[in-house]
Amino acid sequence: MLTDLTLTEARDRLRAGAFTALDLTRAYLDRIRAVDPQVRAFLLVTEEQALEAAQAADRRLAQGDDAPLLGIPLAIKDVLTTAGIPTTAGSRILEGFVPPYTATALERLFAAGAIMLGKTNTDEFAMGSSTENSGYCVTRNPWDLGRVPGGSSGGSAAAVAARMAPGALGTDTGGSVRQPAALCGVSAIKPSYGRVSRYGLIAFASSLDQIGAFGRTLADCAALLGVMAGHDPKDSTSVPDAPPDYTQALTGDVHGLRVGVPREFFIDGIEPDIERAVRAAIEQFAALGADVREISLPHTRYGIHVYYLIAPAEASANLARFDGVRYGPRARVEGMWPAYKVTRGQGFGPEVKRRIMLGTYALSAGYYDAYYLKAQKVRTLIRQDFEQAFREVDVILTPATPGTAFRIGEKIDDPLQMYLADIFTLTPSLAGVPAACVPCGFDANGLPVGLQIIGPAFDEATVLRAGDAYQRVTGWHTRRPQIAESS
């Protein structure tokens, strides 16, 4: 089946003329119709636009165009703006919003020939670890439809896992591409902060948000990242340095690579099946000739505290603009302040309200120095831990999550337990360094386990090289979930 091909396999066969972009796009649209009623990965399927784009891609292919993603269908997380196509950020407060512009990362993908299949579900404003906080529906894990796919990019991860797209875009603030990649058994990368333009990304926490990529393999992710990365004058936080050709880094060789294993990431509470799978993956790196050594990241234990002060504080400021005045539905209430209160009260879900309140409190007079400012100082210590570690090692290997996919509803009423699902992915985000996730095994229930690979700032190439080498000698990423198709 065409939908069993990886992104890079599909790209190469398209160029060889084995099938057309229209054939490939139709195959994925058929797959979406067959399995998405069970999975609910998509909020919107842009079938008409996808078929038109596929026909245009075939005309370019016939003319010998070798654009890097020509004819490749993708799923797009619904926090990235798309001109003329609704973008909701998973929130009722943006229901019906149609942006007048397209995010820079998407513009670059479309210019490279990529085709959008639709917009995927997300926790509201990317705030969540399970995609249960969406204002529209709950996405289900393709490996077990009674479990969550992770979040907030759960729709994109589930779409790739269920073979509804060969690749997808997500966003990662504290782990929102890596954690769902681990829970859904797919590959993903969060680039360094500043590597990919945030223009057109609906902001959650501006000093943390990054656009990331999903694929079945890290080679797929490298193909997507290579197109998206690079300076953008519309985003003052994007770095001016030109990115390397990431595909050239995929040599399959990690002999002599210095691999660090931080003792702080193997903690009480981690599921035994996850520790076994990750330890086995680390042994595989040693068998490939890597130099594996234990390291320390001493401020790791403060990561969750720091994140849940800084991220809600930034969310409080960013979400102040959603008041029903310029876009989105507005409550029909007399008076400015009553209209604001009712609009925001009805439009935001409980998790978004919780984080706005936490962030507003942390920024309020009398508490700013005690909470927000102190959190920023500890964030600096966390970043310095990584800088020190990368003087000794080239990459760091850790579990991606402390547990495999949990049941829908299991943690929704326990915010602290939900927040702990991201405990291993928070510190790389706070440090602004790149991190990837690759499948490295399954637990006793047949649920995927993810390995996190962390690299120095702006060295995505080494992260991709390490993960690709591991995937060349293992087959975890080739397994697929079985989902009954709708008749």
State how beta strands 73-77 and 167-172 pair.
parallel
Which segments of 191-299 are extended strands (E)?
210-215, 258-262, 291-295
Q: What is the DSSP letter of 385?
A: H
Angle value at C-alpha 456, between 453 and 461, nearest 5 degrees: 70
296 noted as active-site residue = no
What residues contact residue 421 under an 8 Å CB cut-off, 6+ apart? 129, 130, 150, 179, 401, 402, 403, 406, 411
User: How many CB atoms are closer than 10 A to CB 46?
Assistant: 20
353 noted as active-site residue = no
What residues contact residue 455 under an 8 Å CB cut-off, 6+ apart? 390, 394, 395, 396, 433, 434, 435, 462, 463, 466
What residues contact residue 225 under an 8 Å CB cut-off, 6+ apart? 189, 191, 195, 196, 213, 243, 246, 460, 464
Residue position matching structure tokens 């501006």: 206
Give me the catalytic one of 176, 187, 192, 316.
Answer: 176
What residues contact residue 464 under an 8 Å CB cut-off, 6+ apart? 189, 218, 219, 221, 222, 225, 246, 249, 250, 436
Given a contact cutoff of 8 angstroms between Cβ atoms, the answer to whether 114 and 90 are in contact is no
Measuring CA to CA, which residue among 40, 243, 7 is closest to residue 115? 7
- Adjacent-strand bridge partners of 120: 42, 77
Measuring CA to CA, which residue among 139, 164, 2, 12 is closest to residue 74? 164
Q: Which amino acid is at 247?
A: T
The whole-angstrom separation of Cα 357 and Cα 53 is 43
What residues contact residue 77 under an 8 Å CB cut-off, 6+ apart? 119, 120, 122, 153, 155, 156, 168, 169, 170, 171
The whole-angstrom separation of Cα 174 and Cα 155 is 17
Give me the catalytic one of 77, 119, 190, 411.
Answer: 77
Give me the catalytic one of 134, 152, 153, 316.
Answer: 152
Which segments of 9-100 are extended strands (E)?
42-45, 73-77
Given a contact cutoff of 8 angstroms between Cβ atoms, the answer to whether 16 and 83 are in contact is no
Q: Which residues are catalytic?
A: 77, 152, 176
